[in-house]
Structure 1
Amino acid sequence: MLLALWLQGVGDTSDAVKSVVGDDEPHTVEGLPGFADGTDLDTLFTAWTVGPREVCALLPAPGDAAGVPAAANHEATEAGECVVVTTDAGSWAAIPRVQAFGSHIEPGHMVTWHVLEIPEWTRLVLGTIGSVADAERELRTSLMTATDALDQLDVARWRDDAADAIERIRSASTSSWPVPHLDGRRARVLDLAARLRAIVALGKVDDGGAVNVFQVDQRSTALREVDRTARHAMSAATYGRVA
């Protein structure tokens, strides 16, 4: 998501690169037209921030392509994310390949962005994920569903660390994200969607107070739907057109 947001308003590309890379090893890029494989992320920003462009981050999951064009669907679903962009030169998907190394004490990541040429994607994506306004409304409903599912799971009673995890979810905010300025609605949608995905992750750790397979299945179905809504909302909030 950070890559999509920065591609909408880069001034100094070094700030954008630092934000996207974070604590990773320097990111590399392969498949970028006109450049050799292994070029750096700064080159991608330079190539894709000249002139008009459309950008969106997509978060597919098995069974839900989330608007990803067919040419990139398999690889993007494996990665769990991709960025689609259209410039005057054409349309592409950039998919991160992440290789972990080190230990749980000192973890590290090497990331390569694989660029694929894709057909024009705007109609497909917007028809799938909808508008930011639509996403905000749907998230409110999903919040009630997620809270109810979590209450029924009773994770606070079944897991010693659940109370701390729930408090972190409540206090999470995009204000600490290393991103360019976000307008109020996009920030609210990203905040709420991120919290919902964290609730889903917490609810998936165990079956809590479920007493039978039917209950487990019901709650899993509810949480999957919440996660789908949150992923689509995040995509809607990252979509941008730069004239």
Structure 2
Amino acid sequence: MLTEPRSGRLAAWGNALLAGLVSPDDAVLAVVGEDAVHRVEGLPGEEDVVGLTLALGRLRGLGVTGFRVALPAPGHPLGLSGPPEFNARALEAEEAVVCSGAAFGLVPEVYEAGPEGDVHTEVVWHVLPVREAPPADVPSLSEAERELAEALREATEVLTRLDVAASGPVAEAAIDAYRARAEAPRRAGARVTGGQGYDVLSPGYPPRAVRVLELAERIGMLVSLAYGGGHGGAVSASEMTARSAALRPVERTARRARVAAYNSVVEERERR
């Protein structure tokens, strides 16, 4: 929950590119973020792996009009519509992008490459067929915002009940690490937009989507602190089981809200 999903960056900046709000080079720069390179495999009409810039242009030519995010977890196929083969790959990766306007989906595979001391991250997006059907369990932005308000109260109550520190050096270090990871890819986005304030999503997203995503990530941070303990001490198996049971609904709500935020521009366009 503490890292911005690569599928979120691809969907957000892909949607901005399709809307003509950013250039292809700027969109790719923002999507790649701190990774070394992103490539695409399985693109119709291409036998070899291709670069992300070419792939985005080819997907537009194939009829893609928007990109949605899926963030599935075991027992919760959030944002997926099938078929089973695509769902299984997305579940293994814990994320995927589902195209609107053409029956394609993209699942990232992440590699570490390079010699010791100079290791970098490379990503290959696998293009697979998807079923054209409504995505599973994705709320509207307004629903997500209402659910998040309740989830934040629940998360705070759970942290208090389980005696997880909300402050102190360990928790503060975790929060600092979260902020550094979250801001790294967004700094790339700020560079390509000339510092126009698109720190969370790309140009074209409504302010409500930004609010929802920021609150969902805040709740995700609290959940991760609860799983980690906050105090830095050992957590017994029984304590971890109790925390997991209490926090699972909160975590699910935060994931649903993140998907709703990333998908909001496509949902609004299709409603119109």
CA distance in 1, matches of 2:115, 2:242: 37
Cα shift at 1:14: 0.5
Residue type of the alignment partner of 1:118: V
Q: Secondary structure at the residue paired with 1:230?
A: helix
Residue type of the alignment partner of 2:71: L
Among 193, 200, 210, the alignment partner of 2:223 is: 200
| More off after superposition, 104-113 vs 91-100 | 104-113
- Structure 1 residues 169 and 136, CA gap change in structure 2 (3 angstroms): farther
Q: Which residue of 2 aligns with 1:165?
A: 174
CA distance in 2, matches of 1:115, 1:233: 25
Cα shift at 1:238: 1.4
CA distance in 1, matches of 2:146, 2:25: 36
Q: Which residue of 2 aligns with 1:49?
A: 60
Q: 2:24–2:53: 8 Å Cα contact kept in structure 1?
A: yes
- Structure 1 residues 210 and 157, CA gap change in structure 2 (3 angstroms): farther
Q: Which residue of 1 aligns with 2:73?
A: 61
Q: 1:129–1:236: 8 Å Cα contact kept in structure 2?
A: yes
Cα shift at 1:189: 0.7
Q: 1:7–1:48: 8 Å Cα contact kept in structure 2?
A: no
- Structure 1 residues 168 and 142, CA gap change in structure 2 (3 angstroms): farther
Q: Secondary structure at the residue paired with 2:107?
A: strand
- Structure 1 residues 74 and 210, CA gap change in structure 2 (3 angstroms): same
Q: Which residue of 2 aligns with 1:34?
A: 45
Q: 2:227–2:244: 8 Å Cα contact kept in structure 1?
A: yes
Cα shift at 1:25: 1.7
Cα shift at 1:132: 1.0
CA distance in 2, matches of 1:152, 1:170: 26
Pairing 1:108-123 to 2, within 5 Å after superposition: 108-121=120-133, 123=134
CA distance in 1, matches of 2:235, 2:38: 46
| More off after superposition, 68-77 vs 51-60 | 51-60
Q: Which residue of 1 aligns with 2:3?
A: none
Normalising by structure 2, what TM-score? 0.76
Cα shift at 1:44: 1.9
Cα shift at 1:193: 0.9
Structure 1, gaps ≥5 residues long: none
- Structure 1 residues 224 and 129, CA gap change in structure 2 (3 angstroms): same
| More off after superposition, 161-170 vs 93-102 | 161-170
- Structure 1 residues 106 and 139, CA gap change in structure 2 (3 angstroms): farther
| More off after superposition, 194-203 vs 129-138 | 194-203
Q: Which residue of 1 aligns with 2:153?
A: 144
CA distance in 2, matches of 1:211, 1:21: 36
Among the aligned pairs, what percent are the same residue? 37
Among 80, 89, 94, the alignment partner of 1:75 is: 89
Q: 2:229–2:235: 8 Å Cα contact kept in structure 1?
A: no
Q: Secondary structure at the residue paired with 2:69?
A: strand
Residue type of the alignment partner of 2:49: G
Find out whether 1:131 has 2:140 as its counterpart. yes
- Structure 1 residues 154 and 134, CA gap change in structure 2 (3 angstroms): same
Q: Which residue of 1 aligns with 2:11?
A: 4
CA distance in 2, matches of 1:230, 1:60: 12
Find out whether 1:238 has 2:252 as its counterpart. no
More strand per residue: 1 or 2?
A: 1
Q: 1:156–1:163: 8 Å Cα contact kept in structure 2?
A: no
Q: Secondary structure at the residue paired with 1:155?
A: coil
